[in-house]
Structure 1
Amino acid sequence: MVTENQAVSLARKDLFSRALSVPDRLHMAAHSHHLWPDVTLAAQVEAWEDAAILADHKWDKALGQVYPAAQGLVARELSLPSPDSVVFAPNTHTLLAVLVSAVGRRPVRVLSTDGEFHSFRRQAQRWVEAGEIALTLVESDGPDFAERFLATAREGQFDLIFVSHVFFKSGLVFDRVWELADLARPEGPWVVVDGYHGFRAVPTDLSTVADRIFYLAGGYKYAMAGEGAAFLHAPPGFGPRPALTGWYAEFGDLEGPPGGVGYGRDAGRFLGATFDPSGLYRFVGAGRMLEAEGLTTTVVAEHVAGLRRSLLARIAAGAAGPLKDAVVLNPPGDGPQARFLALRHPSAQAWKLALAAQGVVVDVRDDVLRVGLSIYHDEADLAAFCAACGTLV
């Protein structure tokens, strides 16, 4: 087992031997598609074997063992009072649609920002066109963002407040987001925190706000599990009867009007219908590996923080060529940090393509180059990355 101090200087490449064995590739995009650890192959095979051997009875295991194990991992990671407040779905878009369907008025008055991920941005724009929501956006750039957003939330009349904990493009950490819990009420507003770039990236304790805040995230990024394992933490009493509902929401202890449609009392009220459970198998496999190896979010974040400081020093010294001319949107500070560097420059798109031609994987959002680091990176990776960047123009 790796101790917290050891992990700061030790990359665990051994846990990712298959993904790292791909020749001529330097993966520097752990924030985008995190490499899968070796244990997820065994988890994927287990899902297949259960389907082949158990056939129809695979659901007894998938829903009776794997699903509760996944709920437990989330509850422990976020310090939730109960795993029953966690519901899984194939993706966050599905959960968002079900959640909004539970709001009892139209148009839904929504407060958000101009920096949300596309799964919300695109759907919100279409809902506006259809008259389903009335949308107020707060600009997410600027050092006074937190004050501006909180002030708008406190002064406005909203049914739903949707905002990121860590912004996907800039890496800004909205560390005051939990103050929104003071506004949340079952009758509205509901506060939904997009935690996709925070879950297993930034240590997050929801114990004091879990009774008032929705939290949306998944396994694709820092949970290292890939697609098919998105989840929602739903506070009790908020959104008891989603209009968009599947037959899985009929399971468990139901409540509802006599002769009407019943819903589970726990987060199962947001369930849909039949899904591919293999993502949950991988989610549990990766989560159990992290726990067994002592790779807490704090441990991995400290490892990444050391690499981030080293990489920024290399860039500033000119070791990464023209990257020294980029603006660092999320420089190191005193608070929690995103698990990627966001570098703004007019040539970001061209740099991404040129690096890809050398087998270096990064990603770009508009004019922002993003470099994501994880527990499988070390100083040698930084040196190789900077050498590749030195060839850029």
Structure 2
Amino acid sequence: MSPAAELAEHYTRFRVADRLLLTGHSHQAWPDVARDGVIEAYDDAALAVEGKWARAEVRAERLRAGVRMLLDDPVAEVALGASAHELLVRFLSALPLRSRPRVVTTDGEFDSARRQLDRLADAGIELVRVPTAPLGTLAERVAALVDTRTAAVVVSSVLFETSRIVPGLAAVAEACERTGAELLVDAYHQLGVVPWSVGAAGLAEAWVVGGGYKYLQLGEGNCFLRVPPHARGAEPVVTGWFAHGGDRFAGSTYDPTSHYRAARVLNFFVEQDLTPPRLREISLHQRGLLAREFDALGLPDELVTRDRDTPAEAFGGFLALASPQAARLRDGLAERGVHADHRGQHLRLGPAPYLTDEQLTEAMGLLGEAAASVR
């Protein structure tokens, strides 16, 4: 039995061995122990009533510890939230937008950030959106636009449409430190699939936002904001009553079930030796297999193609296929039992550690059938 097949035995509720779930970039299956965490949260509430919060804090701290490990930042201040958007709003509310009414971002940010920044622009904030292409010079071009009127730069470490890793973000961090601007890095498509160290990346003074819904298998409600050392005194306008305890970026009363689930899954990853380097090794193998099987289909470029000029190490965890028929291809895959998604003209195929090579090969064969139906 292959390692992937052995791992799949721990995901019986999601039936990963029986389904072609190429959703690893969007929402991975939860291991069975996640259900144990949900039940444990209920039992603790029933047993301890109001005293459950002390028990819940143990699970919240396990999540913070997991985030610190993934960031390679053992002393990081980590605020937790139900969504990355919630934490983005708290971050934005801490900015001096009256005196520095300018935000720099890119045209490749996820919709929650894009829409929120658009609304800030509607309210009078100057929003500078930098094209991601050509990606090799993106960091340099963003850095050049940071000035003393800039309150913040909002960028991703891995682009959510194309899976490209954004190089050179240290240059943006340097520009922000030089001018007094803040840097927020969206690492949602980085953590759990591409090893990262904020210090080694030159981002020790950057804010980092992300969550566990995708590669970490933690499910909803497990997002985080890493507060950089220089911002220990920052005070968000949008804050909750939990913040009086010292966590300025904390919210208010919440459903702690998500943290129980996260604690169980993080421990499961340790037990299964699913470390960041191991997850990257699996991801590179699986994405490479998908790319080779796609090429073997011999489909016309005008229908669907992929970036063959960029080395595999420059991508994150999913294979992005460019097609004007991306939506129809996604529908064709769904009709054939393959779960995937698309963003604009990009069909996104995301493997996961519990999928076997045979499943990935079968899925790409079904893509060939779907493509034949839309020509």
Same fold (TM over 0.5): yes
Code of the residue aligned with 1:19 in structure 2: it is: F
Q: How many residues align?
A: 367
Q: What is the distance in 2 between the residues matched to 1:378 and 1:22? A: 8
Q: Which of 117, 121, 125 is equivalent to 1:124?
A: 117
1:145-164 paired onto structure 2 within 5 Å: 145-154=137-146, 157-164=149-156
The structural deviation recorded for 1:15 is 2.5
1:241-280 matches, cutoff 5 A: 241-251=235-245, 264=246, 268-280=247-259
State the partner residue of 1:19: 14
State the match for 1:390 in structure 2: 368
With 27-36 and 185-194 compared, the bigger mean Cα shift is at 185-194
Query: 1:43 — aligned with what?
Result: 37
Amino acid at match of 2:193: A
* Structure-2 separation of matches of 1:61 and 1:297: 28
Cα displacement (A) at 1:183: 2.9
Instruction: Look up the match of 2:62.
Output: 69
Output aligned runs, 1:1-393, within 5 Å. Answer: 12-20=7-15, 25-63=19-57, 65-83=58-76, 85-106=77-98, 108-131=101-124, 133-154=125-146, 157-185=149-177, 188-208=180-200, 209=202, 211-238=204-231, 240-251=234-245, 264=246, 268-318=247-297, 325-329=303-307, 333=311, 335-392=313-370, 393=373
Whether the aligned pair in 1 keeps the contact of 2:20 and 2:339 (CA below 8 Å) is yes
Alignment gaps of 5+ in structure 1: 1-5, 252-263
Decide whether the 8 Å contact of 1:245 with 1:270 is kept in 2.
yes
Shift of 1:346: 1.0
Q: Determine the C-alpha separation between the residues in 2 that align with 1:171 and 1:290.
A: 23
Distance change in 2, residues 1:147/1:80 (3 Å): closer
Report the 3-state secondary structure (helix = DSSP H, G, I; strand = E; otherwise coil) of the residue aligned with 1:390.
Answer: helix
Contact 2:241–2:252 at 8 Å: present in 1 too? yes
Distance across 1 between alignment mates of 2:335 and 2:312? 36
Partner amino acid, structure 1, of 2:336: Q
Deviations 1:318-370 (A, max 9, x none): 17x66895221476516442100110111111011111112210000111100
Is residue 185–residue 209 contact of structure 2 (8 Å, CA) maintained in 1? yes
Identity %: 30
Change (3 A) 1:278 1:355: same
- 2:209 is paired with a residue of what secondary structure? strand
Residues 59 and 316 from structure 1, CA distance in 2 versus in 1: closer, same or farther, beyond 3 angstroms?
A: same
> 329-338 or 218-227: which moved more?
329-338
Amino acid at match of 2:116: Q
Q: Give the Cα separation in 2 of the matches to 1:186 and 1:245.
A: 28
Deviates most, 153-162 or 366-375: 153-162
- Alpha-carbon distance in structure 2 between the residues aligned to 1:118 and 1:155: 25
CA shift for structure 1 position 213: 0.7
Taking the aligned partners of 1:50 and 1:78, their CA distance within structure 2 comes to 30
Task: Tell whether the 8 Å contact from 1:216 to 1:231 is kept in structure 2 after alignment.
Answer: yes
**Structure 1 stretch 368-377 or stretch 234-243: which is displaced more?**
234-243
Distance in 2 between the 1:327 and 1:67 partners? 43
Q: Please list the CA deviations of residues 150-171 of structure 1 after superposition, one character each: whole Å capped at 9, or x if unmatched.
A: 4434567411010000010111
Conservation of the 8 A alpha-carbon contact between 2:207 and 2:225:
yes
Could you say if the C-alpha distance between residues 66 and 27 of structure 1 is closer, same or farther in structure 2, counting changes exceeding 3 Å?
Answer: same
CA RMSD of aligned residues (A): 2.4
- Distance (Å, rounded) in 2 between the aligned partners of 1:331 and 1:308: 15
TM-score normalised by structure 1 residue count? 0.87
Out of 361-370 and 330-339, give the one that drifted further.
Answer: 330-339
Q: Is the Cα contact below 8 Å between 2:146 and 2:179 reproduced in 1?
A: no
Q: Tell me the CA shift for residue 273 of structure 1.
A: 0.7
2:213 aligned partner, one-letter code? Y
Aligned equivalents of 2:249 and 2:226: distance in 1?
A: 10
- Structure-2 separation of matches of 1:70 and 1:299: 20
Structure 2: gaps of 5 or more residues: none
TM-score, normalised relative to structure 2: 0.91
Separation in 2, partners of 1:310, 1:22: 18
